[in-house]
Structure 1
């Protein structure tokens, strides 16, 4: 388990919404998302009776290793049985980290710094842009859930430096 001295920075993950999640309870689900990395597990609130939920929940992961996988799993809340899994995906932050290491500055807001295409190694459904916004890099992405017929989750990630750390140097 990482200690405070091992921390590189903080990754803010805004879980925006889900689209076309599978219905586990007759015609609906009561979905929530768990973001996990190592021993860290963060959870959004659950949304009742909605296969297209809007969460807009912000979760923060303490990052000690850029290579540690970040997993996203969607569940359906159940009252009397274990919660059903509605799909999973991995969040790939490596392209974002590469842009961050470039130590960009003095760029016009809303400038696209990089675009990541969907491929077999990531769970992206469409092109994901890394954008310079108000002096920070943000990446918007939509990930396709694996091991289910349908389902996507829209996210936004943003890095927060820890003052003693200098962007990977």
Structure 2
């Protein structure tokens, strides 16, 4: 029962890439950032925001989750028209705490109830406590990720779970 054969999705994870904060300068005095999310063989990309170190994407990207143990990787790039896009840092995050909260199947809680907190630690890229909250009948997790391999920058995002009709997670 515990095994999840490939191709047997647990459900969909909608990731709202909200914004970047204090991103690195890669052009003369700014950057044209965009974000790429990767999970297994899936790769999704936000639009490019011109000349901003604090871009607001507010863009939803949806990944199909088959293996809860696989971290989601996030990369920020600066778009360049005539050369290779410059790296502006990367991060990864673990979706296991969020999926554990989804499994609890908490119905009928008051809005804003905090189900769980994920704390920053050396092993993760979380910049501050990340709360998994019951809101408007659904679970969401807000997180700030501190970018690695770069001088500065954070990305704010929000996770939301979408059950598939034949989902195995709640079972």
TM-score by length of 2: 0.94
Gaps of at least 5 residues in structure 1 are none
**1:167 positional shift:** 2.2
Q: Aligned-pair distance for 1:166?
A: 4.0
CA distance in 1, matches of 2:115, 2:68: 20
Distance in 1, Cα, partners of 2:102 & 2:40: 22
SS in 2 for 1:21: coil
Comparing 7-16 and 114-123, the one that deviates more: 114-123
* Alignment partners' CA distance in 1, 2:12 and 2:85: 29
**Secondary structure class of the residue paired with 2:121:** coil
1:113 and 2:94 aligned: no
The structure 1 segments of at least 4 consecutive aligned residues displaced by more than 3 Å after TM superposition are: none
- Post-superposition Cα deviations, 1:70-124, rounded to whole Å, max 9, x if no partner, equal 1000000001111001000002211111111111111111111111110011111
Contact 2:70 2:94 in 1 (8 A): no
CA root-mean-square deviation: 1.3
* Native 8 Å contact 1:103 1:167 kept in 2: no
Match of residue 76, structure 2, among 70, 74, 77: 74
SS of equivalent to 1:95: helix
The CA distance in 1 between the partners of 2:36 and 2:76, in whole Å, is 6
**Residue 152 of structure 1 aligns with which residue?**
154
Counterparts of 2:40 and 2:91 in 1: how far apart (Å)?
A: 15
Which residues in structure 2 correspond to 1:48-127 (within 5 Å)?
48-127=50-129
Distance 2:125 2:170 in 1: 25
- Does the 8 Å contact 2:69/2:94 carry over to 1? no
